[in-house]
Amino acid sequence: MADIEAIPFDNSYARLPDRFYARLAPTPVAEPGLIRLNEPLARHLGLDPENLKTSDGIAMLAGNHVPDGAAPLAMVYAGHQFGGWVPQLGDGRAILLGELIGSDGLRYDLQLKGAGRTPYSRGGDGRAWLGPVLREYILSEAMAALGIPTTRALAAVTTADRVIRELLYPGAVLTRIARSHLRVGTFQYFAARRDDDALMRLADYAIDRHDPDLKHVENPYLALLEAVVHRQAELVIRWLSVGFIHGVMNTDNMTISGETIDYGPCAFMDAYNPDRVFSSIDQYGRYAYQQQPAVAQWNLTQLATSLLPLIDNDRDTAATLAKDALGQFSEHFNTGWEQALRQKIGLAIEERTDLDLAHRLLTLMAENEADFTLVFRTLSDLAIEADITADQAFLDLFKAPHRAVEWLSDWRRRLGQETRSDLERQAHMKRINPAYIPRNHRVEDAIQAGLRDDFTPFEILIDVLSRPFDDQPDKKAYQAPPKPEEQVRKTFCGT
């Protein structure tokens, strides 16, 4: 293990030309204190948790100390935000401290969020307050436990600084880990400037980092586009399968790696509603639950447009090739989503009527405002033979259960065509239908307690969510949807 002054940074992005970033150190904070350190993740990155918990380690996690070998910088990018073009964005409150090679041999960014102003802050203060830091820690680690590609939280640190939003809030810094912070908007930035040299350097870098097998194919830049299309289709399938709504799917929030990034106004649904929106800034439902596949494809179209000069010298030929690559999104998504729905209702053998059966359930859930997570988890407990007690637990999730009774009958009839035993099917369903998600009211409870310097609810929630597919009899309360007075209908961006 390495001490703070001997961390084995290997900073490949910092070796790109200066126009890719601004070099600067984080702005120090007052009196940093460690809230939580993700010790297993630290060890995976080759970092000694005990060193990170020392005063020097906390100083690094707060941005007060830049260790030897780090190359702090703020990345520049552009993007479409709610469909509107912004020619320059960039890391306005984050500093990429450096890169580390994990125990899996993969490269990871170590970034500090809330690290102070950068040239891309656009008038912002460059700081983070405690609420969004706790929220991102909870949500990103919950997503990782669910097996969904995501950035990770290495540490959360408090500061004695006060951050002005609607009110004065305690400051905080999050240490975020990512396979990279390359975004669709990073490519858009250079494409908009017609800087083909930078665009090619960026694409080559992305291939080297994420898709090295593509370096020697006939058209590596087209292959890169196809790889990102497939990763993003798979990511959105995984989001939908657990009722997740990102809330701010701007092109600067879509990664080339296929990881979920930027947990601002995101949320997991309680009652199922395909038009559900939580983000306080999404006034027209652009990023509603069911809109996410279409938005992902729209964002990928912006990536394809940016890559046209690299795909072929003839723009018409490049456009045709890119269009074909983009068409793979719908094919991959539709096939994957159909398979995900079959698995969620316990079907392994494909039958023509399966999708109708799954969509009928979703319609019933929407009409009855049934809880998305509990419906599928409770269904996972049912056997092919009716059981009054178990069935009633499922039917109680619907306001008007009579049609749910009919659906159960049809579902059981369909199960008769399966070859797996009840126990095998139930075990498989419980591996894909979580019992625990980061419910909005629980996240809000943890944030409010944290503002009172009580991090016990935060710690308990992190522990529960680290085992989302396990039955945890002593934590059943964390499965429950919110009472009417506990409902969180709006979520907010940390800036």
Q: State the number of CA atoms in the 13 A half-sphere of 392 facing the CB.
A: 3
Tokens of 128: 């983070």
C-alpha span between 373 and 242 (Å, rounded): 7
Looking at the DSSP bridge assignments, the partners of residue 183 are 255
Compute the distance between CA of residue 492 and CA of residue 495 in angstroms, rounded to an integer.
Answer: 8
CB 451 within 8 A of CB 169: yes
Tokens of 287: 């990023």
List of residues 6+ apart from 359 with CB closer than 8 A: 341
Contacts of 271 (CB under 8 A, 6+ apart): 369, 370, 371, 372, 481
- The answer to whether the CB of 358 falls within 8 A of the CB of 340 is no
Spatial neighbors of 87 by CB under 8 A, at least 6 apart, are 78, 189, 192
Residue 254 is which amino acid?
M
How far is 334 from 342, CA to CA, in rounded Å?
12
Q: Give the whole-angstrom CA distance, residue 452 versus residue 446.
A: 10
- Tell me the C-alpha distance between 439 and 457, whole Å: 13
246 three-state secondary structure: coil
- What angle separates helix 388-395 from helix 372-379, to the nearest 10 degrees? 160
What is the rounded CA–CA span in Å between residue 245 and residue 492?
A: 13
Distance CA 47, CA 39 (A): 9
Q: Is 252 a catalytic residue?
A: yes
Q: Which residues pair with 162 in a beta bridge?
A: 170
Amino acid identity of 120? Y
Let me know if 165 is exposed, middle or buried by CB neighbors in 10 A (0-12, 13-18, 19+): middle
Please name which of 244, 318, 323 lies closest in space to residue 287, comparing C-alpha atoms. 244
- Please report where in the chains the tokens 């509107």 appear, as a residue: 84
H or E segment and range at residue 39: helix 39-44
- Alpha-carbon distance of 493 to 281, in angstroms, equals 8
Task: Please enumerate in sequence order all residues whose Cβ is within 8 A of that of 106, keeping only pairs 6 or more positions apart, or say none.
Answer: 179
CA distance 207 to 212: 5
Q: 109, 161, 211, 252: which is the annotated catalytic residue?
A: 252
C-alpha span between 429 and 345 (Å, rounded)? 7
Active site residues: 252
